[in-house]
């Protein structure tokens, strides 16, 4: 009787404990700290590779009939000679301003998508203790990437235009650019190239996760060159895995990024053009993503889809390395226990 009474009391206490409201402040604070750490890391890493980022965009959208940039070294020298050091970082303020909200939306979306996908997975398998697999995390990351990209796309659109303007300052900043495009071209113009961006996020994020996880598993199982100790990868080894994953992902998704930029630049004076039969240059217009692909390949060849890939590939390794180290430092300062990659 006593044991039954004790069990009843224990059950009552358990139910009461479960019925107590959760403490969202602790969860919110953890999320906030992680967002700050991720935002700072993104801003620092993007600033470090800003010259390569600008050159990549200039190579993507330059007029094939007026070539100014022929490669990474020549392109950087040309920007330095014609615009000075400030030219190497043109558009970086807009880019960094986009990183913080993008990281915030991406982190929150990833958490929510992971929770929803895990719930569905447990319902389907009937296993309440099931955990997310790399494939499911890939899906959650893709969802987060799409949502974050969509939420900050207008800022990315303006960043691209600020980056390529070389003569007169048509856009004086983010908000001026947003207002100018909305007035002169209509609000829909802020989402030019959105579709290839959405499509590009899925293979990019997908391959990032797939390659990264596969490399880690292979290294842990095979332990080549003593890179693994006690089933743990060193920071340098993880950086190498992340760099390889990023390189593969961005190479596959790169043509979509080129098409996105070109669609964004429609109506811009420095956009790609074509020479007609009478010798006049007519700016290229695109009816959609497929039309942009077709015209780009038709007038400039298949290689045009990979314009700027060189500087983009060069910036992948230092960008990932700097972002990782910066995040770790800020994370330790703020006392964050959660990693963005988790």
Residue 11, pLDDT score: 46
Domain of 279?
30-334
Residue 285 included in any domain: yes
CATH number at residue 155: 1.50.40.10
Residue 2 included in any domain: no
Write down the pTM of the prediction: 0.59
The number of folded domains in the chain is 1
Residue 258, pLDDT score: 86
Residue 123 included in any domain: yes
Distances in whole angstroms, Cα of residue 267 to Cα of each of 62, 185, 299: 14, 9, 18
Residue 212 included in any domain: yes
Residue 57 included in any domain: yes
Residue 60 included in any domain: yes
**What angle do the packed helices 194-222 and 153-164 form, to 10 degrees?**
100
Q: What's the average pLDDT block by block, 10 residues per block, for the chain (342 residues)?
A: 49 45 55 76 84 83 75 87 88 78 74 84 88 78 84 82 68 82 87 82 74 77 65 74 81 85 68 56 73 86 85 74 72 66 43
Residue 340 included in any domain: no
Residue 327 near residue 38, CB atoms below 8 Å = yes
- Return the H-helix or E-strand segment holding 287: none
Residue 13 included in any domain: no
């Amino acid at each position: 009787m006593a044991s039954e009474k004790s069990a009843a009391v224990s059950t009552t206490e358990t139910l009461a404990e479960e019925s107590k409201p959760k403490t969202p402040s602790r969860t919110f604070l953890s999320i906030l700290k992680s967002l700050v750490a991720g935002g700072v890391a993104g801003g620092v890493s993007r600033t470090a590779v800003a010259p390569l980022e600008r050159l990549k965009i200039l190579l993507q959208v330059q007029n094939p009939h007026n070539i100014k940039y022929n490669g990474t070294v020549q392109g950087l020298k040309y920007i330095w000679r014609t615009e000075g050091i400030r030219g190497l970082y043109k558009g970086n303020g807009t880019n960094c301003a986009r990183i913080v909200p993008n990281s915030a939306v991406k982190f929150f979306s990833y958490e929510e998508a992971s929770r929803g996908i895990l719930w569905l997975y447990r319902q389907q398998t009937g296993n309440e203790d099931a955990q997310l697999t790399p494939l499911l995390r890939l899906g959650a990351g893709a969802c987060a990437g799409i949502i974050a990209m969509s939420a900050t796309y207008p800022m990315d659109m303006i960043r691209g235009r600020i980056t390529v303007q070389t003569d007169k300052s048509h856009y004086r900043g983010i908000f001026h650019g947003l207002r100018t495009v909305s007035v002169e071209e209509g609000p829909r113009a802020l989402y030019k190239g959105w579709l290839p961006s959405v499509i590009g996020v899925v293979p990019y994020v997908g391959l990032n996760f797939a390659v990264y996880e596969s490399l880690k598993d292979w290294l842990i199982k095979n332990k080549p060159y003593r890179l693994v100790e006690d089933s743990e990868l060193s920071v340098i080894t993880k950086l190498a895995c992340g760099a390889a994953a990023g390189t593969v992902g961005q190479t596959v998704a790169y043509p979509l990024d080129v098409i996105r930029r070109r669609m964004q630049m429609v109506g811009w004076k420095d956009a790609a053009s074509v020479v007609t039969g009478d010798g006049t240059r007519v700016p290229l217009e695109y009816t959609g993503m497929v039309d942009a692909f077709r015209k780009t390949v038709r007038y400039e060849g298949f290689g045009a889809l990979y314009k700027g890939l060189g500087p983009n590939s060069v910036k992948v390794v230092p960008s990932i390395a700097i972002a990782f180290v910066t995040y770790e430092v800020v994370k330790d300062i703020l006392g964050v226990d959660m990693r963005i990659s988790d």
